[in-house]
Structure 1
Amino acid sequence: MTALREFYGMVWHAFRNLLPIILVVGFFQFVVMREVPEGWLTMTLGLGVVVLGVALFLQGLELGIFPVGKNLSNEFARRGSLILLMAFGFCLGFAAVIAEPALIAVAGQAEVISEGRVNGLVLRALVATSVGAVTALGIVRIVLGHSLHWYMIVGYVLVVAVTFFAPEEIVGLAYDSGGVTTNIVTVPLIAALGIGLATSIRGRNALIHGFGLVALAVMVPMISVQLYGIAVYTFGDPGAAAATGGAVIAPEDSAPAEPEAGSLLRGMGADLLGMVRDVLPIIVVVLVFQYLVIRKRIAHLHRAMVGFVLVIVGLYAFVLGLKLGLFPIGQSMAAQLIARDGVALVYLFAFAIGFATTMAEPALIAIGEQAEDAARGRLRGSVIRMLVALGVAIGITIGVHRIISGDSIHYYIMGGYAVVILLTWLAPRFIVPLAFDLGGVTTSEVTVPLVTALGIGLASAIEGRNVLVDGFGLIAFASIFPIITVMLYAIVADLVVRARGVQES
């Protein structure tokens, strides 16, 4: 009975995350446009499958991966070995990202839209390697007690510099790839590792040193993917078709797995094997470090094994639900709004989707509560959520305007991060790690596919737009502007406190 109650709680949790999207889409569909979309029954089924998949996935994490991972982190912290910590951080970052559902979706779309020039499996491996390397670097930063703001200033100067030279076909994809690395698997694992280390080392502050690993995990893939794009579009063969990596979710592919050799079961089995391949790295990392490094048996082994199985089945259901529900909804809404010549409605829809989904984002709620505790009264979790949701809504709206206007993403991104770099220099030091981490947790497991489909749908529906050039990038805007709103709030709050101090003296 306890297990059933826990699973019911996970289902309700997943449904609650999806509910804001349902309300916004329902309002625009039935109140604004007053029409029933084609294939609404399939879309509804897809949404239900997404809820079930996320619930199974989260239940599996709670039963298997999280307890084992937390135990490993604590064990390495007690041993005090920097090499072991760096190795574990690299492997954990790599394994968590290679299995990230949103990255699988974005990489699959990029491969299909680029007609094989961008290899989905290579893209995922590159992003995962970047996150693993930067997680190891972030561990060194925590151990040495370095301030994060210099890392971010130098890093984003490099991001902007590489953007200047990168081909326009890769820029939006690169920033989206950075944005989706911090999601349903990565944020809890990496954030817990950073905060746990900071609290276990004497002289470290949980707010200043514990946060920041997520921010680094967002930044470095932006650089590496753009460098990959420069190489691919400079030296690659335009006609080469790459082998598909993982579960490819094409924009037009809104049906479940195609039967192989006339068998539906075989087709579904092949997709499930693909999911096993996607989750296997993180399971291997956990088992290797558990049995070969610390040489201890896993507590409650049968419970952990059930958790691993639920992760795989839940991930498969999640991807299937995306094909049936969220991608078709995003594309359908984009096409309908553009067909009505209602540009203002498109902006309103983008703003509402951004704000509603972010306010319900569980990772944001968790980090807001952790920040409130660590800040000891200087920050309020509810205020942080409002600021981040406002930033996401503004960012997605500006990103939609870029697609509609046909402007180059280079100038928007470079301008946005120029502002971020300036604010990083001016903001109070305690807010910088948190602000960058908040920019990385704004894109949830249901928001990313919907926002990605919205961008691709708009680019497909507007004449003269290139889907690969114009369709990607909305996730990047959703990551930039929360950083700006949070740091602006901290700067203003700091000025107010100083002004009050001057008046009282």
Structure 2
Amino acid sequence: RQVELLAPHISRSALTFSIALGVGLFVAVSFLRLILKLSYKWTMVVLYLLLTLLAIFADNFFLGIAFDAGGATTGPLTVPFILALGIGVAGVRKSETSEEDSFGFVGVSAIGPVAAVLVMGIVSRLSGNDPAASVVEGQVDAVYKFSQVFVETLLEVLQAIGPLALILIIFQLTILRQKRRQVIRMFEGLLYATIGLVLFLVGVNGAFMPVGSQIGALIGGSAQNWVLIPLGVFLGGVVVLAEPAVWVLTDQVKEVTGGAVKKSFILIFFSIGIALAVGLAMIRVIFRIHLAYFLIPGYLIALLLAFRSPPLFTTIAFDSGTVASGPMSSSFLLAFTLGASAASGGNPFTDAFGVVALIAMTPLISLQVLGLIYDRKKVIQKKGKEKRSTT
């Protein structure tokens, strides 16, 4: 929606289809990794090297959109479904690594949309088109009537849930054959999900997005635009707690680990990571720094930490990055950044798009650091027990 407002020449349906295809293909890759028993950390290294190659050849205009797409597409509908699939498959295998194998599916799946949009960028570059030439000047501050937003959102949610409902019906008729009570409960869940998503997204699209843009424009256009940095840090730390998928992930972590990994610790490190991400995004807006200067060292640190952090925390971290960048981040925080960029005279596509990418990146680092702390704490406790037993 935000890309369409700023660049009407980019087909919304083509972008949506490409992203959906990317998610589907990489969900399959995540299952293939589990079946072939491939190392998660090495899988991610190879996939991010692939993204790097695609980014080199893609049009720079699509870079921020691509990495934002990876975070924005894994929202409150996708995350619970993919997490549940992963936990189910890992549980059936019952291997020694089933605990860490339960996570990581969302992290792999999120690479698909990035790759898909980067391929669009390569096609655009080869065709000789200049996508920046038809960018609409100004900010994303369009205010719609709630009735208009409601109808559009309802159609979008039905379009998203419809295929899922169809797949569940096919599985019920062919494989599952659950009892009538379970089927009724399943469709009740789909109904609640539909109503909840419609109400949530109407509020997000009808209020949060225009308000975020206006606040960003007001501060970004002022002489004291440095205020964007501390305000961004504060908003990042708070808004992440409003992401529905964050709570789904923390509940799943608590369930799989039997409470060994505390929910409060994950939320604290989540907030620290997102606060840092939005602060960096505001620095980008003010000083107009290229997104690559943040993403390349950030992902290098994350991938290096993957070889030191406990495997469970690595898979949780790569899932958490995409979980944190849900509808609140991709609407309010992105609109806030776009408004600030436009008001300060910057180019929204090169200076503002990428905030969701940073939000998706920083939890990879912060939660793996939590894993190192957790691992160190276990070692100290073990040594303490051994010392007490000898005395």
Q: Give the TM-score of the pair, scaled to structure 2.
A: 0.86
SS in 1 for 2:327: coil
Instruction: Say whether 1:418 aligns with 2:300.
Output: yes
Encode CA deviations 1:360-388: one digit per residue, 9 max, x unaligned.
54433342343345445753221121111
Query: 1:172, CA displacement in angstroms?
Result: 0.9
Encode CA deviations 1:236-279: one digit per residue, 9 max, x unaligned.
6558999xxxxxxx9232112798xxxxxxx9767754554343
- Partner residue of 2:246 out of 344, 364, 386: 364
Are the aligned partners of 2:68 and 2:353 in contact in 1 as well (CA < 8 Å)? yes
Are the aligned partners of 1:127 and 1:225 in contact in 2 as well (CA < 8 Å)? yes
2-side partners of 1:231 and 1:422: how far apart? 32
Trace 1:250-265 onto structure 2 (pairs within 5 A).
251-256=140-145
- Partner residue of 1:451 out of 302, 324, 333: 333
2-side partners of 1:316 and 1:365: how far apart? 19
Query: 1:191, CA displacement in angstroms?
Result: 0.4
2-side partners of 1:268 and 1:447: how far apart? 20
2-side partners of 1:382 and 1:492: how far apart? 15
Instruction: Say whether 1:437 aligns with 2:329.
Output: no
Encode CA deviations 1:150-169: one digit per residue, 9 max, x unaligned.
11111112223322332221
Are the aligned partners of 1:155 and 1:220 in contact in 2 as well (CA < 8 Å)? no
The root-mean-square deviation of aligned C-alpha atoms, in Å, is 3.2
Query: 1:501, CA displacement in angstroms?
Result: 6.4
Residue segments in structure 2 that go unaligned for 5+ positions in a row: none
- Equivalent position of 2:170 in the other structure: 288
Encode CA deviations 1:178-226: one digit per residue, 9 max, x unaligned.
0012211011111011112212223253431110101111123212211
- Equivalent position of 1:224 in the other structure: 116
1-side partners of 2:327 and 2:245: how far apart? 10
SS in 2 for 1:207: helix
1-side partners of 2:186 and 2:88: how far apart? 22
**Residue type at the aligned position of 2:311:** R
SS in 1 for 2:353: coil
**Residue type at the aligned position of 1:228:** M
- Equivalent position of 1:347 in the other structure: 229
Query: 1:460, CA displacement in angstroms?
Result: 0.9
Are the aligned partners of 1:174 and 1:226 in contact in 2 as well (CA < 8 Å)? yes
**Residue type at the aligned position of 2:263:** G
- Equivalent position of 1:487 in the other structure: 368
Are the aligned partners of 2:40 and 2:315 in contact in 1 as well (CA < 8 Å)? yes
C-alpha distance 302-213 of structure 1, shift in aligned 2 (>3 A): closer
Trace 1:142-291 onto structure 2 (pairs within 5 A).
142-235=34-127, 237-238=129-130, 251-256=140-145, 272-273=154-155, 275-291=157-173
SS in 2 for 1:425: coil
C-alpha distance 497-311 of structure 1, shift in aligned 2 (>3 A): closer
Are the aligned partners of 2:90 and 2:101 in contact in 1 as well (CA < 8 Å)? yes
C-alpha distance 422-291 of structure 1, shift in aligned 2 (>3 A): same
1-side partners of 2:380 and 2:156: how far apart? 59
**Residue type at the aligned position of 2:310:** P
- Equivalent position of 1:109 in the other structure: 2
Are the aligned partners of 2:150 and 2:202 in contact in 1 as well (CA < 8 Å)? no
C-alpha distance 492-272 of structure 1, shift in aligned 2 (>3 A): closer
2-side partners of 1:308 and 1:368: how far apart? 22
C-alpha distance 485-320 of structure 1, shift in aligned 2 (>3 A): closer
Trace 1:69-88 onto structure 2 (pairs within 5 A).
none
Instruction: Say whether 1:467 aligns with 2:356.
Output: no
Trace 1:36-51 onto structure 2 (pairs within 5 A).
none
- Equivalent position of 1:20 in the other structure: none
2-side partners of 1:368 and 1:322: how far apart? 23
Encode CA deviations 1:270-302: one digit per residue, 9 max, x unaligned.
775455434332222222333355566865666
C-alpha distance 239-363 of structure 1, shift in aligned 2 (>3 A): closer
Equivalences, count: 382
Identity %: 25
Are the aligned partners of 1:335 and 1:461 in contact in 2 as well (CA < 8 Å)? yes
- Equivalent position of 1:336 in the other structure: 218
2-side partners of 1:167 and 1:210: how far apart? 36
SS in 2 for 1:341: coil
Encode CA deviations 1:439-491: one digit per residue, 9 max, x unaligned.
1211243332101101211111112x112222211111111111101112323
1-side partners of 2:187 and 2:260: how far apart? 42
Are the aligned partners of 1:181 and 1:217 in contact in 2 as well (CA < 8 Å)? no
Q: Give the TM-score of the pair, scaled to structure 1.
A: 0.68
Are the aligned partners of 1:168 and 1:409 in contact in 2 as well (CA < 8 Å)? no
Are the aligned partners of 1:364 and 1:438 in contact in 2 as well (CA < 8 Å)? yes
